[in-house]
Amino acid sequence: MKSLLSVIVPLGSLFLALPTVLNAKPITNELGEKHPIMQEATNADRVSTAFWQNEIVENKDIVIMSDSMTITADRAQRGTSVPIPMEMIENLCGDIDGCTLRMGMYNWDGKGFTASSSNLFYYNMYNGAWRAEKGDSFGVDFDINTDHVMQAWGCYFTDGTYDDWVNLHDYSKGFGLLAWNQYSAEECRLTIVD
């Protein structure tokens, strides 16, 4: 028993010192607030987006399966919403059981981690009314007002339209995935499951 204690105590001390030795903070501190306030875009954001648009080639934005779909918004698309096909929102979320939203912010730390969150979402395809479980967010699509259904760090599922960091509001029917400037994630991913 004495030898076991002599092993545990140094390991405990080593574990407490490990973040300092590796120059790393615990993951929860690096990631920060799950729902940070959306900041205005800066000129640096616009320059950064232009750089990534030149570096990243063609589009791999949407993957559709029979009972789900995945939408991505990468660095090149930051500040501009990626439209989600409305027929898929209606098919997956417009029924009596709604749908599950799984949002991931991939490689936000440069180490390949995905920060994730999920939410239950209902969409009324007859009048455009929608409601999400977490945060008790709700709104009406195509009502001029931009409302975010869900936010996870720098990723947004929104009923508004954004183009080059400008909110164009909700003047058309539809939803989009938006990567914003809170983190330098490689991409935002939204999977919608019936």
Distance between CA 1 and CA 22 in Å, rounded? 31
Instruction: Give me the DSSP letters along 163-187.
Output: ETTEE--B-SS-EEEEE-SSS--SE
| Confidence band of 20 (pLDDT split at 50, 70, 90) | very low
pLDDT tens per residue across span 136-192: 999 999 999 999 999 999 999 999 999 999 999 999 999 999 999 999 899 999 999
| Confidence band of 17 (pLDDT split at 50, 70, 90) | very low
| Confidence band of 41 (pLDDT split at 50, 70, 90) | confident
Is the CB of residue 161 less than 8 Å from the CB of residue 178?
no
| Confidence band of 14 (pLDDT split at 50, 70, 90) | very low
Residue 163 has which token pair? 């183009």
Q: Per-domain residue ranges for the chain?
A: 39-193
**Whether this model's pTM surpasses 0.85:** no
User: 85 pLDDT exceeds 70?
Assistant: yes
Collect all residues with Cβ–Cβ distance below 8 Å to 92 and sequence separation of at least 6: 67, 68, 69, 99, 192, 193, 194
Residue 50 has which token pair? 């232009």
Q: Find residue 115's DSSP bridge partners.
A: 105
Mean pLDDT for the stretch of residues 110-120: 96
Output DSSP code: residue 76.
G
Q: Which of 19-33, 68-82, 113-127 has the lowest mean pLDDT?
A: 19-33
Mean pLDDT for the stretch of residues 115-122: 97
Phi first, then psi: give them for residue 7, nearest 5 degrees. -80, -40
Q: Which of 23-37, 52-66, 77-91, 114-128 has the lowest mean pLDDT?
A: 23-37
Distance between CA 50 and CA 52 in Å, rounded? 6
